[in-house]
């Protein structure tokens, strides 16, 4: 079926109200497209927003939404000139992986999916099993091979993510999550009633850490009206700071330092989630306003990611651990919990200064100042 959005010649439609501007077929088409996408967004909300997967949502709502999404993408792939609103890349990024819908029991390569342990703009993190060993599989929210039309677009995204991940596989540090591999893996359904594969997924394979991440730990503490102790906070920040110092020395930037990307094993705290951090950030840049995340400094510019931004995010994480909340200000001063020592208030006030010139310029400078603050605490 061929869908024609615009005719070669603009036809003016007769209308009785002379004081209104002429209505052309282009106007009618644009209005129709706008209405179509409004309906699509309503379906997005109705079909995706639900704390549980009810039978109606699973059997009726999601399949219908997926058909609409596939239809919209098909229009733009058939003729890119139809994309007058510039939505083609956004649709491919935000929905290309969704129609496949990975489920527990599905297999990606040799890895059997068990449970979802994290979600983000990039896609989903699964706990998966290979033989007797557990892994964390970060599955990108786009498919490697769906059809010829979107192969070129996806190839660019996958190469970008793969190159980033491969760089991290060469790193070795006690406080960095090790990337086992990054590859395209084919899908085999665990449900025999739906055995068809739907292309390949780009997957980053990492060790699985049973203790989880710092965000979950903070949420558990918050439910008990607790804050992290100073000693625990310093232990975490010094270890993650050491990991950042290591990668910054190698001219790499993490781009997404926050509690959910700090994992815990039996002995150490580890910085992870770097394999697709750049891809996720650039995807967000194409969809929403820049600089809105609380872990980015207020002066950050679109596409401008520096090592100093990682340092700022580390300061936000430290504030969150000590106060049980993200930084907020009363006038020019940060709003601290009463239990936070004065020396750490001064330190964080400097680390989270709105003006970049007044903040720490490097993680090494950050850690040196924090060690001095730690000594002041020991003296007092």
Residues of the chain with CATH 3.30.200.20: 107-207
What is the C-alpha to C-alpha distance for residues 245 and 239, in angstroms, rounded to an integer?
Answer: 10
Distances (CA, A) of 148 to 74, 113, 145, 167, 232: 11, 28, 8, 29, 52
Q: Along the 380 residues of the chain, how does pLDDT read in single tens digits?
A: 444 444 444 445 455 555 556 666 666 677 776 777 677 666 655 554 444 334 333 333 333 333 433 333 333 333 434 433 333 333 333 333 343 578 899 999 999 999 998 876 667 889 999 999 999 998 876 655 445 556 676 677 667 777 777 777 888 999 999 888 888 887 777 655 444 445 678 888 999 998 889 998 888 766 555 689 999 999 999 999 999 999 999 988 888 899 989 999 988 999 987 644 554 444 444 433 333 488 999 888 776 778 999 999 999 999 999 999 999 988 788 999 999 999 999 999 999 999 999 999 999 999 999 999 999 999 87
The pLDDT assigned to 299 comes to: 86
The pLDDT assigned to 201 comes to: 81
- By CB neighbour count within 10 A (0-12 exposed, 13-18 middle, 19+ buried), where does 203 fall? buried
What is the C-alpha to C-alpha distance for residues 178 and 171, in angstroms, rounded to an integer?
Answer: 8
Handedness of CA 37, 43, 49, 53 (dihedral sign): negative
Nearest to 344 by CA among 358, 334, 354: 334
Which residues lie below 8 Å from residue 187, measured CB to CB, with a gap of 6+? 100, 102, 106, 107, 108, 197, 198, 199, 200, 201
Tell which phi-psi region holds residue 273, choosing left (phi > 0), alpha (psi between -120 and 50) or beta.
Answer: left
Nearest to 98 by CA among 122, 79, 77, 75: 122
The pLDDT assigned to 281 comes to: 44
The pLDDT assigned to 190 comes to: 67
The pLDDT assigned to 23 comes to: 60
Residue 185, beta-bridge partner list: 201
The total number of residues shown for the chain amounts to: 380
What is the C-alpha to C-alpha distance for residues 378 and 313, in angstroms, rounded to an integer?
Answer: 26
Tell which phi-psi region holds residue 286, choosing left (phi > 0), alpha (psi between -120 and 50) or beta.
Answer: alpha
What is the C-alpha to C-alpha distance for residues 64 and 43, in angstroms, rounded to an integer?
Answer: 9
3-class secondary-structure state, position 309: helix
What is the C-alpha to C-alpha distance for residues 15 and 71, in angstroms, rounded to an integer?
Answer: 33
Residue 137, beta-bridge partner list: 126, 205
DSSP 69-122: HHHHHHHHHH-GGG-TTS-HHHHHHHHTTTTT---TT-EETTEEEEEEEEEETT
Helices (H), the chain: 25-48, 55-56, 62-78, 88-95, 148-169, 214-223, 230-249, 277-285, 307-323, 342-351, 363-379
Nearest to 131 by CA among 112, 113, 105, 116: 112
Nearest to 367 by CA among 311, 309, 306: 311
Distances (CA, A) of 338 to 269, 322, 359: 27, 10, 24
CATH node for 214-379 = 1.10.510.10
The pLDDT assigned to 216 comes to: 87
Domain boundaries 107-207, CATH class? alpha beta
Residues of the chain with CATH 1.10.510.10: 214-379
């Amino acid at each position: 079926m061929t869908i024609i959005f615009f005719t070669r010649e603009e036809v003016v439609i007769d209308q009785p109200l002379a004081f209104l501007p002429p209505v052309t077929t282009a106007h009618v088409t644009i209005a129709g497209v706008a209405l179509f996408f409004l309906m699509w967004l309503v379906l997005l909300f109705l079909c995706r927003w639900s704390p549980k997967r009810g039978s109606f949502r699973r059997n009726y709502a999601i399949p219908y939404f997926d058909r609409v999404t596939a239809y919209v993408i098909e229009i733009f792939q058939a003729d890119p000139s139809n994309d007058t609103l510039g939505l083609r890349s956004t649709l491919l990024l935000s929905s290309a992986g969704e129609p496949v819908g990975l489920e527990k029991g599905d297999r990606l390569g040799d890895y059997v999916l068990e449970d979802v342990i994290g979600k983000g703009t990039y896609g989903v993190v699964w706990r998966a099993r290979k033989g007797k060993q557990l892994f964390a599989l970060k599955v990108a929210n786009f498919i490697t091979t769906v059809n010829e039309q979107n192969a070129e677009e996806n190839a660019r995204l996958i190469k970008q993510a793969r190159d980033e991940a491969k760089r991290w596989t060469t790193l070795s540090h006690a406080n960095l999550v090790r990337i086992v591999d990054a590859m395209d893996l084919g899908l085999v359904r665990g449900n025999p009633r739906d055995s068809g594969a739907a292309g390949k997924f780009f997957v980053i394979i990492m060790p699985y850490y049973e203790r989880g991440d710092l965000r979950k730990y903070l949420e558990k503490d918050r439910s008990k009206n607790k804050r992290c102790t100073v000693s625990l906070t310093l232990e975490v920040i010094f270890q993650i700071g050491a990991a950042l110092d290591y990668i910054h020395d190698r001219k790499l930037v993490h781009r997404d330092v926050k509690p959910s990307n700090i994992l815990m094993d039996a002995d150490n705290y580890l910085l992870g989630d770097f394999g697709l951090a750049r891809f996720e950030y650039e995807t967000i840049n194409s969809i929403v306003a820049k600089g809105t995340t609380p872990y980015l400094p207020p002066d950050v510019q679109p596409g401008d990611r520096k090592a100093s931004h990682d340092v700022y995010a580390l300061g936000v994480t430290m504030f969150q651990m000590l106060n049980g909340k993200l930084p907020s200000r009363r006038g020019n001063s940060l709003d601290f919990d009463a239990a936070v020592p004065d020396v750490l208030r001064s330190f964080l006030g400097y680390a989270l200064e709105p003006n970049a010139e007044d903040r720490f310029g490097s993680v090494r400078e950050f850690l040196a100042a924090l060690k001095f603050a730690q000594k002041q605490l020991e003296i007092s």
